[in-house]
């Protein structure tokens, strides 16, 4: 009789924990922050690029729902190398020499590249065959 009660207890707690895990997973998926532009720049030149880029992209797309990463790698010869990422895909890469004007021009180029990329990416997401894979296995 004790064995039956033990088995019933084990089975009921396993169902409870799997249901709890599913609820936690749904909470994590629903609380993902979207529309963030992450600043990974280290110099004033990179900060200028980020400032121009983020201000202009939010003016053009106030409801941006994709996360973007701007990463800077300073170099001794050419100023800085700026790369714009969506997930882990590099979308735009450029070398910036010192000067605010060039940072503004390059940020405009990066926005145009981002617009083209996001349009293509959203179309691919819409028409991709996902019948045998989960969403997180596609990226």
What average pLDDT does range 105-127 have in this prediction? 93
Domains of the chain, CATH where assigned: 37-123 (3.30.160)
Structure tokens at 41: 């720049």
Q: What are the tens digits of pLDDT across the range 19-78?
A: 555 655 555 455 578 889 999 999 999 999 999 999 999 999 888 889 999 999 999 887
pLDDT for 132 beyond 90: no
What is the value of pTM for the model shown? 0.70
Pairwise CA distance, residues 40 & 124, whole Å: 28
pLDDT for 17 beyond 90: no
Closest to 85 measured CA to CA, from 103, 97, 70:
70
Closest to 88 measured CA to CA, from 75, 102, 71, 72:
71
pLDDT band at 1 (very low <50, low <70, confident <90, very high): low
Q: What is the 3-state secondary structure of 115-138?
A: HHHHHHHHHHHHHCCCCCCCHHHC
């Amino acid at each position: 009789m004790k064995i039956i009660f033990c088995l019933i207890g084990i089975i009921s707690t396993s169902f409870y924990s799997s249901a709890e895990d599913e609820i936690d997973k749904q909470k994590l998926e629903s609380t993902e922050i979207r529309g963030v532009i992450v600043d990974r720049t280290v110099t004033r030149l990179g900060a200028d690029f980020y400032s121009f880029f983020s201000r202009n992209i939010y003016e053009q797309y106030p409801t941006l729902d994709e996360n973007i990463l701007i990463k800077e790698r300073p170099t001794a010869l050419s100023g800085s190398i700026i790369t714009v990422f969506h997930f882990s895909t590099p979308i735009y890469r450029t070398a910036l020499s010192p000067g605010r004007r060039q940072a503004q021009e390059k940020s405009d180029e990066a926005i145009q590249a981002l617009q083209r990329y996001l349009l293509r990416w959203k179309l691919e997401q819409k028409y991709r065959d996902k019948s045998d894979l989960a969403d997180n296995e596609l990226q």
